Amino acid sequence: MAETHSLQDMRQQAAVAAKVFIQRDYSNGTMCQFQTKFPSELETKIDKQQFEETIRTLNNLYAEAEKLGSQSLIEGCLACLTAYTVFLCMETHYEKVLKKIAKYIQEQNDKIYAPRGLLLTDPIERGLRVIEITIYEDRSFSR
Amino acid sequence: MKSREYQQIDPKALPTPTQSPPSHQHQAVGDDGRTPRRKWEVFPGKNRFFCDGRIMMARQSGVFPLTLGLILVTSGLFFIFDCPFLVKHLTSCIPAIGGVLFVFVLITLLQTSFTDPGILPRATPEEAADIERQIDDTGNASYRPPPRTKEVLINQQVIKLKYCFTCKMFRPPRTSHCSLCDNCVERFDHHCPWVGNCVGKRNYRFFYTFIVSLSFLTAFIFGCVTTHLALRAKGGKGLMFALQESPVELAICFFSVWSILGLSGFHTYLVASNLTTNEDIKGSWSGKSGEAVTNPYSHKNIFINCCSVLCVPMPPSLIDRRGFLPADEPAQTSGVDLELPNPSTKSDINVVGGSSHLVLDLQKSSADFSLFLNQTKPAALPA
């Protein structure tokens, strides 16, 4: 609770020092994956392992969202038979995983990034183009 | 040749937002001062929105009313004139099958036309500045036009990603900018004037189901009308007399059956090889340049290709039409503030007509790159 409170305080009081953008990694095709290369601007802010772990987990979650398994196959065939009207009523598999991702990012922000004066923005708010990491000015957050 | 002007990014004009609070707290208000504005109201592309952002189409609806009209008229004539006769002489399954096909066609048509085809929202000013800044790493924080292409390796093949000057980002693979809608669309297939919308990643399966079920419907109606005429002609009055009674239906069905069957066959081939119309027309993977290129997105298995196109989990709409605008965030502008006089100045227009597959493919020469204006705004560049 206290951590969320400080996150909101930070958003409203601290000034933005810089923004880092993690671009998409297209080496596996059009799947939604982000580059795990550690940006130089974050070297003093966060541990490289920690950062790579976050990105890797996000990549795994997006892969899960887009996975072509037997379940999605059955869902696809059933949807086709109903002229895809089920999409109007049901929450799709992708949307369910997006909620999981949003929760994971919130958790990472609260536990790891906010105490270091950083903020991860959910890629869905940027059209799945980039992961935006906002670096806040280091004032009262360096302990 | 008219070129797209490059607008230099002025870093001083970049917004420095405090992280925007949850959107329902401070919202941009509408004209009446009370209702908060939604994002679709300031959407920069050339689209039309209905039902408060739930439904969207291209601004140019093309011949969509004609498509709808033809389907309704032909089916209406079928139910009114052919069905009573055929129910009496054959079986009552006929209107049932016709009804199911008709409903299927209508629903899939409306879904194709009204769904977001997979539009990519334009890059925020900070993102655009970041891409341009990355290019020059000699220590100078200057902003220059980025190189036109960037290369990535996909499945051991070099794919060139193009920079989109309107959307200010490097387009993902298989994404193309539709000049009619002024949007980058993921897995862009073509802009279909018959459905009044682009066909892309999110609505390709609706489009495919639409044309397949339409082929069945037109073939079915054609068969029923022919049977009706044959039975009537046998009844004694002769074929010519029978023909005079239902010319409209027969004409529409006869001409559309071949073209729609052809289109369905073409798209079945595309689905089985995991290709888009755009790639097929440009010959991206046919090795025209002499190198041994194969489609890097194909799974080399027809069944898996079909599944990956038609049965993949439905991706979400990335443009968040119904989200509320925060009050302090400026509406995403159209990037380059140019009035494009007519679509023919834009590179790559692929418009596929129904029966004749009209394709206009105008490629801009790379000489345009040298026509970029350095400074169009009076703001100063940083040192």
Residue type, B97: I
- As given in the structure block, the two tokens for residue B243 are 């023909």
Whether residue B77 contacts residue B248, with contact meaning beta carbons closer than 8 Å, is answered with yes
Q: Name which of B19, B124, B169 is nearest A134 (Cβ-Cβ).
A: B19
CA B288 to chain CA centroid, Å, is 26
Confidence check: pLDDT of A8 > 80: no
In angstroms, rounded to a whole number, what is the distance separating the alpha carbons of residues B86 and B98? 12
The answer for A106, left when phi > 0, alpha when psi is -120 to 50, beta otherwise, is alpha
Domain that holds residue A55: 21-136
Q: Do B313 and A94 touch (CB under 8 A)?
A: yes
Mean pLDDT score, B113-127: 91
Instruction: Supply the ipTM of this predicted assembly.
Output: 0.86
Q: Is residue A95 part of a domain?
A: yes
Domain membership flag for residue A74? yes
Q: How many CB pairs under 8 A join A and B?
A: 113
Q: What is the pLDDT of residue B277?
A: 92
pLDDT tens, position by position, B331-363: 454 444 444 344 443 444 444 444 444 333 333
**Residue closest to B132 by CA, chosen among B13, B9, B4:** B9
Q: How confident is the model at residue B128 (pLDDT cuts 50, 70, 90)?
A: confident
> How confident is the model over B369-376, as a mean pLDDT?
40
Total structural domains within chain A? 1
Residue B51 has pLDDT above 80, yes or no: yes
For residues B205-210, give the mean pLDDT: 94
Which pair of structure tokens corresponds to residue B24? 């329902």
Strand partners, B199: B190
Q: What is the pLDDT of residues A57-75, one digit of tens each?
A: 999 999 999 888 888 888 8
Question: Count of residues for chain B?
Answer: 383
How many Å apart are CA A14 and CA A117, to the nearest integer? 9
Is some CB atom of chain B closer than 8 A to the CB atom of A87?
yes
Touching check for A26 and chain B: CB below 8 Å?
yes
Structural domain includes residue A39: yes
- Percent of chain B beyond pLDDT 90? 27
Whether B60 and B343 have beta carbons less than 8 Å apart is answered as no
Q: What is the mean pLDDT of chain B?
A: 76
Q: What is the tens place of the pLDDT at every residue in B145-160?
A: 667 788 888 888 888 8
**Residue pLDDT, tens place only, A66-120:** 888 888 888 888 888 888 888 888 888 889 999 999 999 999 999 999 888 899 9
Q: What is the pLDDT of residues B260-296, one digit of tens each?
A: 999 999 999 999 999 999 988 888 777 665 566 788 8
Tokens of B249: 């239906």
Q: Is B321 helix (H, G, I), strand (E, B) or coil?
A: coil
Residue at A98 is within a domain: yes
The whole-number pLDDT of residue B153 equals 86
Q: Considering the domain boundaries, does residue A6 fall inside one?
A: no
Average pLDDT of chain A?
A: 85
- Rounded Cα gap, residues B19 and A110, in angstroms: 15
One DSSP character per residue, B44-67 reads -SSEEEEGGGTEEEESS-TTHHHH
Closest C-alpha to B326, from B44, B54, B18: B18
The pTM is what?
A: 0.79
Enumerate the active-site residues of B: 192
Give the pLDDT score at B137: 56
Which of these, A56, A21, A26, lies nearest to A40 by C-alpha position? A21
Are A94 and B169 an interchain contact pair (Cβ–Cβ within 8 Å)? Answer: no
Residue B162 phi, psi (nearest 5): -90, 150
Residue B276 CB partners (closer than 8 Å, separation 6+)? B174, B187, B188, B189, B190, B270
Alpha-carbon torsion (B240, B244, B245, B251), positive or negative? positive
By C-alpha distance, the chain A residue nearest B311 is A76
Considering only CB atoms, which chain A residues are within 8 Å of B313? 65-67, 72, 75, 92-94
Does residue B19 belong to the interface with chain A, where contact is any CB pair within 8 Å?
A: yes
A121 forms beta bridges with A132
Contacts with A, B 41-80, CB within 8 Å: none
